Chains A and B, each alone.
Chain A
Amino acid sequence: MHGNRFRHNILTALLLAPATVWLVVFLVLPFVAIAVFSVGERAPEGGYQAAFTLAQYANLPARATAFWNTMMLAPAGALACLLVAYPVAYYLALKAPQRWRLILLALVVIPFWTSLLMRTYAWMYILGGRGIPALLAFVGIEDVRLINTPGAVLLGIVYGYLPLMILPIYVSLERLDRRLLEASADLGATPLSTFLGVTLKLSLPGVMTGFSLVMILLLGEYLIPTLLGGGKVFFIGNALVDLFLQSRNWPFGSAIAITLVAVSVVALIAANRISTRVSGARRVDLI
């Protein structure tokens, strides 16, 4: 029995070994590295010089615009996604004909797994000078500027992240016990109060999962503001690319990255708390 137990443990360790090495070398170590860098100094020729200072964090306001844009457009984008996604998820889960449901759901999933770069490029094409503005000029409306505006970035965000918002809401609505809806109606509730009191309340875990996922991914977004915002709408992601690949101020970049992760963690925990308090249920797992 003793030998058996030993063999069991050895096998378990062997199975977990590759994943452990991977997680330690490419997730934990890199995170420790940027944490150390963030309290260091910039070497004169760029890169990193060992030190212990909070100067990099004190310097964060230098990138206030990037933080401001991200902190405004990420929640706004997530909210816009939610407003578009909820009716779609509701329709798919509760109203769509059974035989169409899986096909429609697949049509939602597919864009999520196709290249965000290519999908954002599509909007560059549409909003760019030779797209909609050219069509508008053709009917006599001149000088419309669509691309490189905050509106274009918001549109790109909704387009890019809509599938990710629809899925968790769909999952929570689909699990909903329909007898509750009937009971509510039988007890004389109006459709609106049934929706607010039962449907919306019970789908909140899905809403919070979708909202926090989209928001966290948006906090680190780079492609959409770069391609649809031009040089005008800067996100934290743009600041990071600039600091690491162009001006090579790695310690300051690390401090920004650590702040970004901290903000994401706080947002996740807050979303989880709100969701638990409102519905008394746990979050919905996405995959």
Chain B
Amino acid sequence: MRAFVTAVFAFLYLPIALVVLFSFNAGRHASEFTGFSVQWYGTALSNPFLVEALKNSLFIATTSALLAAVCGTAAALGLARVGLRTRAVFDALMGAAIVVPGVVIGISTLVALVQLFGVLNPFLASVWPDGQPPRLSLGYGSIIAAHGLFSMALVTMIVGTRLASLDRNLVEASSDLYATPLTTFRSIVLPQIMPAVVAGFLLAFTFSFDDFIVAFFVAGAQTTLPIYVFASIRRGVTPEINAIATIVLVASVLLVVLAQWQLRQRKPAN
């Protein structure tokens, strides 16, 4: 059994290791390693389209994860205060946001937004005082919103789990000692749920940064890093892509390790 498990771990990591290894290959081809070189990193980082896509992805991931962390935490706190029936409705919707395949989320958001813009744009044009009215279209906003949906549901789940295990006695003791609800929240609840909020933010960031399929539908004229990489892969495999892949993999691994570490932190002793 140990041999089998070792083989599975090798199966999980060898392909990734190979991509990383060949990003340092001096030659072009996967069949031969001709020497160590970082030239492909140079090529990748001096490609203006790629750098633009990377910047877009960073901006979108940061914004959607921040929004998700704030709204998701608020929702988790709110759900702890409502009746079972309301809770069940929210749980079902959040569950759907996580489980419905990305391809369906992508197309349905595309369809809904295109219809919505079709109504809103003429309306804006008719009420705009003078000059050019703003034209709503697919782009940063729609990607952030669509990513935020999944991320918010994720944050709500993670923070909700943490809230459920929160020590009720501390909260009651705090209010018995005449702390205002706000003080109780700031000094008792917030410190205890903070690791979950941070972990949720990091996982949301990773999800948005890695997502291809949802962005593919709602990106409009914008390009994110996965969209750029997908398009280049279809044109052919090059070591330049290995270099980008390595950068992305290292970044994701760091973020996930950080998130796991946050989740495993013991509750601060008060």
Interface residues of A (CB under 8 A from B): 8, 11-16, 18-19, 22-23, 25-34, 37, 48, 84, 87-88, 90-92, 95, 104, 106-111, 113-119, 121-126, 128, 130-131, 134-135, 138, 159, 162-163, 213, 216-217, 219-223, 227, 236-237, 240-241, 244-245, 250, 253-254, 257, 260-261, 264, 268, 287
Contacts and interface: CB of A to CB of B under 8 A. Distances in A.
Nearest to B239: A125
Interface in B88-106: 90, 93-94, 96-97, 99-105
Nearest 7 pairs of A and B residues by beta carbon:
A220-B101, A15-B78, A30-B108, A19-B75, A122-B15, A16-B78, A30-B112
Contact of B12 (A14, A107, A227, A257): A107
Q: Looking at B2, B13, B16, which has the most chain A CB atoms within 10 Å of its CB?
A: B16
Contacts of B257: 106, 110
A113 B145 contact: no
A222 B103 contact: yes
B243 to A, nearest CB: 11
B204 to A, nearest CB: 11
Given A107-B12, A244-B110, A12 B82 contact: yes
27 contacts: A12-B78, A13-B78, A15-B81, A18-B74, A23-B93, A26-B109, A30-B108, A30-B112, A33-B115, A48-B111, A88-B5, A95-B1, A110-B253, A110-B257, A115-B226, A115-B249, A116-B212, A118-B19, A118-B229, A126-B30, A128-B30, A163-B12, A216-B99, A237-B103, A244-B217, A257-B103, A261-B100
A244 B19 CA distance: 32
A30 B109 contact: yes
A61 to B, nearest CB: 21
Given A18-B74, A114-B210, A124 B112 contact: no
Interface in B227-264: 229-230, 233, 237, 241-242, 245, 248-249, 252-253, 255-257, 259-260
Interface of A is mostly: helix
Given A34-B108, A110-B256, A213-B99, 5 more contacts: A12-B82, A15-B74, A18-B74, A23-B93, A261-B100
Contacts of A104: 9
A25 B145 CA distance: 10
A191 B70 CA distance: 51
B30 A111 contact: no
Nearest to A253: B107
Nearest to A250: B111
Interface of B is mostly: helix
A20 to B, nearest CB: 8
A287 B161 contact: yes
Interface residues of B, number: 83
A220 B78 contact: no
A88 B11 CA distance: 12
Contacts of B195: none
Interface string B121-153: 000000000000000000000000110110010
A71 to B, nearest CB: 14
Contacts of A32: 112
A241 B216 contact: yes
Given A16-B74, A122-B18, A257 B96 contact: no
Nearest to B101: A220
A10 B152 CA distance: 22
A91 B31 CA distance: 35
Given A22-B152, A287-B158, A121 B107 contact: no
B240 to A, nearest CB: 12
B4 interface: yes
B213 interface: yes
A253 B260 CA distance: 39
A197 to B, nearest CB: 20
